[in-house]
Amino acid sequence: MKYRNKEKFYIALIFGIVTLLNIYAAIHHTMWRDETQAWLIARDTYLRADSLFSVTSYEGHPFLWFVVLMPFAKLGFPAWTLKVLSLVFITVALALFLLKTEYSIGIKALVAISPIYLYSLVVPARSYSLAALLMTCIIVVYKDRNRKPLLYAIFLALLLQTLTIYGGFVFACGLMWFIETCIEIKNREVKVTEVINRILGMVLVFSSGVFLLWEFRYTNAVVNESECKPVEALFALFREGCSDLESLFGKGYLIVFTISIVLLILLFQKKAPSFFQTIVILFLAIGWQVYIYTFVYFASKFRLVSWLLFILLAITMSYEYIESYKHFLFVFIAIMMILSAYSVNSWSISEFKKNYTYSQSKEIADAISELPTDAVVFISSSEYCSPVVAQVSVDRNIYNPFNRKIASYVDRNPEKSEGMTYEEFIRTVEEMFPGIADCYVIVNSGELVHDYGIEYYGVRIEGLCENVKEGYTCFEKIYENTAEIVLQDSFYLLKINLN
Q: How high is the pLDDT of residue 326?
A: 55
Contact (CB, 8 A) for 310 and 281 = yes
Is the peptide bond between 124 and the residue preceding it cis, with omega within 30 degrees of 0?
yes
Range from 52-66, 143-157, 162-176, 456-470 carrying the lowest mean pLDDT: 456-470
Domain ranges of the chain: 5-351, 356-497
Check whether 260 has a pLDDT greater than 70: no
Check whether 74 has a pLDDT greater than 90: yes
Range from 110-114, 327-331, 450-454, 460-464 carrying the lowest mean pLDDT: 450-454
Closest CA to 387 of 360, 357, 361: 361
pTM: 0.85
Q: Calculate ∠ Cα 309-310-314, nearest 5°.
A: 115
What are the tens digits of pLDDT across the range 205-248?
999 999 999 998 887 643 444 444 555 555 555 555 555 444 44
Q: Strand 405-406: give its sheet, edge to edge.
A: 405-406, 398-400, 377-379, 438-444, 491-497, 475-480
Range from 63-72, 227-236, 453-462 carrying the lowest mean pLDDT: 227-236
Residue 278's contacts (CB-CB under 8 Å, 6 or more residues apart) are 272, 314, 317, 318
- For β-strands 438-444 and 377-379, DSSP reports them as parallel
Using CA atoms, how far apart are residues 168 and 283, in angstroms rounded to an integer? 9
Q: Quick one: three-class SS letters along 67-102?
A: HHHHHHHHCCCCCCHHHHHHHHHHHHHHHHHHHHCC
What are the tens digits of pLDDT across the range 90-100?
999 999 999 99
Check whether 453 has a pLDDT greater than 50: no
Radius of gyration of the chain (CA): 25
What are the tens digits of pLDDT across the range 330-350?
556 666 665 565 555 444 555
- CB-based burial, 4-29: b 16+ in 10 Å, e otherwise: eeeeeebbeebbeebbebbeebbeeb
Element containing residue 185 per DSSP (H, E): helix 167-186
Range from 121-125, 200-204, 427-431 carrying the lowest mean pLDDT: 121-125
Closest CA to 487 of 391, 359, 352: 359
